[in-house]
Chain A
Amino acid sequence: MTMYLNLAWRNIWRNKRRTLITISSIFFAVLLAIFMRSMQLGSYNHMIKNVVTLNTGYAQIHAAGYWNDQTLENTFEADSTMIRTISQIEHVTQVIPRLESFALAATEELTKGVIVIGVDPEKEDQLTGLKDRRIKGDYLQANDNGVLVVSGLAEYLQVSVGDTLVLIGQGYHAMSAAGKYPIRGIIEFPTPELNRQLVYLTLSEAQWFYSAPNRLTSLALNITDQKYLSEVMHTLRATLDTATYEIMDWSELMPEIVQSIQLDNAGGLIMLWLLYLIIGFGIFNTLVMMIAERMREFGVLVAVGMRQKQLVGVILIESIFLAWIGVTAGMITGIPMLIYMHYHPIHLTGEAAEAVASYGMEPVLPFSVEPGIFFAQAGAVLLLAGLAAIYPVVRLLRLRAVDAMRY
């Protein structure tokens, strides 16, 4: 075996320039691929974490049927034993109760449709970091009778801390709901969508406003890491009565996020396939040239007693060497850069930042260092090297010494 490896290794350096160009092309493709994939996958994780902690949480529990019919009629009684049970499930870090519905927010002159969310101020802060999103005023106290308003809404209604907001809506069992609330603070979300129409109340105040005492629309769950999600979901489904409650994870709550990720991912993969295909043709051509100029030599080798299969082995090793050097060079160059970028993500500025923000994302370019990215590229290139070798292999298997020596 050592002899074959030795032979293959020396063979690829018989034509240094050609080998270097072929390796450079692989190097270029691998470097590009790991950067692209790292950015793509990094942005997906970032996106998921972003949207999950902005609002929905990793999973939610509703009254059965709430998701398709989001009305106050589909609320459920807050059951403290149930909440305790859920919070004791492993990996669950927070259980956040909410009561949310639609209302009209009005000042003297202006009105706007808003979503009123009743929250437990402390717990909500733990999931969404609401306290730190304040740009003005104070955060809600435990028994506050004031509201927090998102900045877009405050601008629209031309109100600020200390002003009074009138909320008008429809309560539980079609009771009319109306109330006057002093604005305690203004909060700002990175996404315009959320920034447009949210009003936060304390949970008890919201329950009073909507005439829904002790009722909730949802329990949002925070967990330690996305990778435990399926485990937690499984436990939840086993613990809770699924006829009474519906249990949904973030991908069910926001299928459009999953689909947009899939779409973007598909686009990226198509691009990579195309790139690899082109590089693959380059490897193919190199191999074709390599065997063409060595035909007579192969003929002699088979004549003196080398089997075609052994020749094929040498060519395959050569092909793999080419791919492997390119991949290794790409990884050695790319991985340290990516690790650096992973810990120092690029912050976007200007127009690009605004565009990213309008899609509900923080304007940073995160890089993923998921090992799978690197294995996938290495696998892809080795596969290419294998595919590119098919034709040379077939030719070598059919090689007849007499013909090859006359080549």
Chain B
Amino acid sequence: MAVIRTKDLKKTYNSSMVPVHALNGIDLTIEKGEFTALVGPSGSGKTTLLNLIGGLDQPTSGKVWVEETEITQLKGNDLIDFRLKSIGFVFQAYNLIPVLTAQENIEFIMLLQKRPKKERQQRALELLNAVGLKDRAHNRPGQLSGGQQQRVAVARALAAKPKFVLADEPTANLDSTSTANLLDLMAELNQQEKVTFIFSTHDQRVIDRARRVVWLEDGRILSDETKM
């Protein structure tokens, strides 16, 4: 069953003198368990598309479904709650609250979901274990390397047991070793835990690891290939 479905998705920015058509009619379906990269030069519309799928922005026209929910219909707090329960996010930077420790950052998401304390602690430790940072539980983001921070971000994204994880250029600020480690982690989670990942990137190393690659250019899907 499709986790995400978009229909004729269009987004136009009117901020400058000339309207910019960031997305020009995107029809995309993501199935459960996919490991998909959105690829394209900057300005191609990857981030816009991710934002729309993640319910962070409203399209000019078109629709987005996450499973049965048409999220383009959701507003305000309903949308925020939907994101909280159904979508995991990993961003390029500023992912974590700097004053909270790695463990607390993961717990925080569950706190927003009003989970009991015991469960929060237990799951946070599990997730930290899963991303290989068990011994860093009590370190603050400032005491972690960039790669470690992104792994905590992945753990945090998984905390809510989301339907899929959106990652917007998650490796943009990482060196090659960290990039490889993060990708290994994501791939492993995808295979073992069946977590659906969609990430945007223009890093060839990341593209190589993706099982499905969707090329975007000028707000249109240029190609869509799934490796066997």
Smallest CB gap from B86: residue in A: A305
Contact across chains for B93 and A296 when beta carbons are under 8 A apart: yes
Complex formed: what's the CA distance from A341 to B48 in Å? 67
Contact across chains for A301 and B80 when beta carbons are under 8 A apart: no
Complex formed: what's the CA distance from A305 to B166 in Å? 13
Contact across chains for B80 and A305 when beta carbons are under 8 A apart: yes
> Which of B61-69, B104-112, B195-203, B212-220 is the contact stretch?
B104-112
> Which of B34-42, B50-58, B125-133, B170-178 is the contact stretch?
B50-58
Q: Ordered nearest first, which 9 A-B pairs have the shortest CB separation? A: A305-B84, A10-B99, A296-B94, A305-B83, A401-B56, A402-B57, A304-B89, A402-B56, A297-B94
* Known contacts A10-B100, A303-B56, A304-B156, A405 near B109 by CB under 8 Å: no
Task: Tell me how far the C-beta of A18 lies from the nearest C-beta in chain B, rounded to whole angstroms.
Answer: 15
Task: Tell me how far the C-beta of A329 lies from the nearest C-beta in chain B, rounded to whole angstroms.
Answer: 22
CB-CB under 8 A from B88, the residues of chain A are 304
Sorting the interface of chain A by its residue count into under 10, 10 to 19, 20 to 34 or 35 or more gives 20 to 34
Contact across chains for A305 and B77 when beta carbons are under 8 A apart: no
Interface residues of B in 160-207 (CB under 8 A from A): 160
Task: Tell me how far the C-beta of B44 lies from the nearest C-beta in chain A, rounded to whole angstroms.
Answer: 17
CB-CB under 8 A from A7, the residues of chain B are 97, 99-100, 108
Contact across chains for B100 and A402 when beta carbons are under 8 A apart: no
Task: Tell me how far the C-beta of A229 lies from the nearest C-beta in chain B, rounded to whole angstroms.
Answer: 55
Complex formed: what's the CA distance from A301 to B95 in Å? 8
Complex formed: what's the CA distance from A307 to B81 in Å? 8
Contact across chains for A304 and B99 when beta carbons are under 8 A apart: no
Contact across chains for A305 and B81 when beta carbons are under 8 A apart: yes
Can you list 29 A-B pairs with a CB-CB distance of less than 8 A? A3-B104, A3-B107, A3-B108, A7-B97, A7-B108, A11-B99, A13-B99, A296-B94, A297-B94, A297-B97, A299-B94, A300-B91, A300-B95, A303-B54, A303-B56, A304-B109, A305-B83, A305-B112, A305-B113, A306-B112, A307-B77, A307-B112, A308-B80, A310-B112, A400-B56, A400-B57, A402-B51, A405-B91, A405-B94
CB-CB under 8 A from A49, the residues of chain B are none
Complex formed: what's the CA distance from A405 to B97 in Å? 14
CB-CB under 8 A from B93, the residues of chain A are 296
Q: Does any Cβ of B come within 8 Å of A302's Cβ?
A: yes
Contact across chains for B77 and A297 when beta carbons are under 8 A apart: no
Taking A304-B83, A305-B109 as given, write out 8 further A-B residue pairs in contact, using a Cβ cutoff of 8 Å, ordered by the A residue number.
Answer: A3-B111, A7-B100, A300-B89, A303-B91, A305-B112, A305-B160, A307-B77, A402-B57
CB-CB under 8 A from B160, the residues of chain A are 305
CB-CB under 8 A from A304, the residues of chain B are 83-84, 88-89, 109, 156-157
Q: Does any Cβ of B come within 8 Å of A14's Cβ?
A: yes
* Known contacts A7-B99, A11-B99, A297-B98, A305 near B85 by CB under 8 Å: yes
Which listed residue (B80, B91, B94) contacts A307, Cβ 8 A?
Answer: B80
* Known contacts A303-B54, A402-B51, A405-B91, A14 near B80 by CB under 8 Å: no
Complex formed: what's the CA distance from A304 to B86 in Å? 10
Query: Chain A, 268-303, contact with B by CB distance < 8 Å: what is the 0/1 string?
Result: 000000000000000000000000000011011111
CB-CB under 8 A from B81, the residues of chain A are 305, 307
Complex formed: what's the CA distance from A285 to B85 in Å? 36
CB-CB under 8 A from B54, the residues of chain A are 303
Query: Chain A, 309-323, contact with B by CB distance < 8 Å: what is the 0/1 string?
Result: 010000000000000
Complex formed: what's the CA distance from A229 to B81 in Å? 61
Task: Tell me how far the C-beta of A293 lies from the nearest C-beta in chain B, rounded to whole angstroms.
Answer: 11
CB-CB under 8 A from A401, the residues of chain B are 56
Task: Tell me how far the C-beta of B175 lies from the nearest C-beta in chain A, rounded to whole angstroms.
Answer: 22
CB-CB under 8 A from B97, the residues of chain A are 7, 297, 301
Smallest CB gap from A12: residue in B: B99
Smallest CB gap from A8: residue in B: B99
Task: Tell me how far the C-beta of A104 lies from the nearest C-beta in chain B, rounded to whole angstroms.
Answer: 83
